[in-house]
Amino acid sequence: MGTDPFQLFEEWFAEARTSEPGEPNAMALATADSDGRPSVRIVLMKAHDPDGFVFYTNQRSRKGEELAHNPRAALLFHWKSLRRQVRIEGKVSIVSCDEADAYFASRSRDSQLGAWASDQSWPLASRAEFEKRYEDMKAKFEGMDVPRPPHWGGFRVVPETIEFWTDRPHRLHERRLFKRGADGWSEGLLYP
């Protein structure tokens, strides 16, 4: 068995991109507030490398607030077509402004305007109110590039553990666990 979990992730992710319907970069993101109350939702991974797994969001959203108070998270990729999962746990850092600006510029204009119009995760009186805010942003940025909102950016989950789970008949699954230590990654197995 090798000891480079990022190479293994890239191999699995390449297979998922060809076989998984929908969005193979969809991952469950689990966070917890300062009192330890957990919360989970699906987000899209937008970048990955040995430094970590990146997603973008409104930093004043529930997940953004939770990560500000408790900068640790867990991720789960579930590729049903491949009968595989990847679980990742680690510390979270904020991506650089340059990275956030570059990704924001790559988004569709409508998505950029939506980032300005939405107070993500906060109470909304009516759908009409949100649609009006969206139209107001459309008018505000008419004929110009839409800049990244100051409250919108990216988070990088820096893995401390990565588990690769493969479905096997009779629930005799294979679980490979990689742990980051001072000298790099070590690999072991877990009972199914």
Inside any domain, residue 158: yes
Q: Which of 83, 84, 148, 171 is catalytic?
A: 171
Inside any domain, residue 129: no
Domain span at 91: 5-105+151-190
Q: Are strands 184-190 and 174-181 parallel, antiparallel or unpaired?
A: antiparallel
CATH number at residue 24: 2.30.110.10
Please state, in angstroms and as integers, the Cα–Cα distance from residue 148 to each residue in 1, 38, 132, 141, 172, following that order. Answer: 43, 29, 20, 12, 48
**Domains identified in the chain, total number:** 1
Give Cα 171 distance to the centre of its chain. 28
Inside any domain, residue 134: no
| 41-99 pLDDT tens trace | 999 999 999 999 999 999 999 999 999 999 999 999 999 999 999 999 999 999 999 99
Active site residue 60: no
Helical packing angle, 109-117 and 127-140, nearest 10°: 120
Model confidence pTM above 0.85 = yes
